[in-house]
Amino acid sequence: MIEPQHEFNWTRLQDMPVGKWEPSSLVLNGKIIVLGGYESLIKSSRRADVFDPADGTQGSWTPLQVLPSAISHVNLVPDDNGFWYAGGMKDKPGRKILDHIIAEVWNYDLDQDRLTMGPSLPSRRGGGGLARIGDNLHYISGLEEDRDTDSEDHWVLDLAEWKATGSATWKSAAPIPLPRNQLAVVVMNDKIYAIGGQFNHDIRQLNQTQVDVYDPKSDSWSRGPELPVRHSHSEHATIVRNNRIWMIGGHQEPEIGKTGFCPDVLTMKEGGEWELTSVLPKPTSSPAAGIINDKLYVAGGWDGRMDGNKGWLSSPEVWVADVPESL
């Protein structure tokens, strides 16, 4: 058994307003935005909330306006005054009804508290990766409309053109070498890292170790250091700090067909290999996470809790730990 490099001292803060599993999250202006995802009993959420860790000893939560649709399987990237999200699954009113994959693209202006629809994706996608480099928005891989076919597509939108003219079209870029969904996608030093993820969704879920690195200058992909174990469902808790990628919680598959909740806090310094940096207070799938002022915050996810009818209950818990100076 590999021992973690550091033992984080975790403190539990006040709960989220509503427990969330697979919510999208983004650190922006010293706060964490938590959007959509699944509330308890796997119900898609129209909530978006902002966590301010500097407000009192426990931090505070403030709701944003209600989203146009209940949505999950999207990622957030920053904009000048807010953020973007694209594709995803929406409008699941109950666990017996499958939510459907969409092509919608939205921009949320926080200053104006206004949602504006952007240019739709060329096709419907959910669980893909969203990244921004300069004025280019990248949408990578994800599920096609049947919820099981993984797409190799990689599309790019010129945000400068859209803002200048009010019109822009997604264009194709180099396809990802290994199509998958619920992969973590982050930008480090102007390169996109596509990390882990899974094959398929409804018929089966096969987690992956592969890491692919995209260089926009050459429009090409290369292989990065593989994860130490098959891994997915960390896309909303994968962040970059000091040229180091952090991947927190999720699903792990130490043996094919045996998937479990992941307690790991994995990190990889640029040019290095993955290491087990620390562990969470408990194994948790698909939390939200962010690092602000040398503190790591982890919120929500699913830790296996159920009601009396074995319905999944999303966690409302919020945890914080100091990040060592060496990291």
CATH of the domain at 205: 2.120.10.80
Q: How far from 80 is each of 92, 110, 187, CA to CA, in Å?
A: 31, 9, 17
- The pair phi, psi for residue 244, each rounded to 5°, is -135, 130
C-alpha torsion sign, points 131, 137, 142, 143: positive
Dihedral sign for Cα atoms in the order 177, 182, 187, 188: negative
Residues 290-303: tens digit of each pLDDT:
999 999 999 999 99
For residue 3, being part of any structural domain is answered with no
Strands 230-232 and 295-299: unpaired
The span from the CA of 114 to the CA of 80, in Å, is 13
Residue 327 belongs to a domain:
no
What is the SS3 assignment for 162? helix
CA–CA distances in Å: residue 263 to residues 55, 89, 222:
28, 26, 29
pLDDT of the residue at 190:
97
Residue 2 domain-assigned? Answer: no
Residues of the chain with pLDDT under 70: 1, 92-97, 254-259
- Give the pLDDT confidence score for residue 256 in this predicted structure: 59
Q: What is the predicted pLDDT for the residue at 204?
A: 83
What does the pLDDT read at residue 1? 57
Q: Evaluate whether residue 147 is within a structural domain.
A: yes
Give the residue numbers spanning the domain of 173.
Answer: 11-320
Q: Is 240 inside any structural domain? A: yes
Q: Give the per-residue pLDDT at 93.
A: 62
Does the CA dihedral 240-194-169-105 come out positive or negative? negative
Q: Into how many domains does the chain fold?
A: 1
What is the pLDDT at residue 182? 96
pLDDT of residue 166: 87
Residue 5 falls within a domain, yes or no?
no
Assign residue 200 a region (left: φ > 0; alpha: ψ between -120 and 50; beta: otherwise).
left
Report whether 265 contacts 278 (CB < 8 A): yes
What per-residue confidence (pLDDT) applies to 203? 85
Tokens, residue 266: 């994995």
Q: Global pTM?
A: 0.96
Nearest-angstrom CA–CA distance, 214 and 236: 20
Asked whether residue 6 is assigned to any structural domain, the reply reads no
Whether 108 is covered by a domain: the verdict is yes
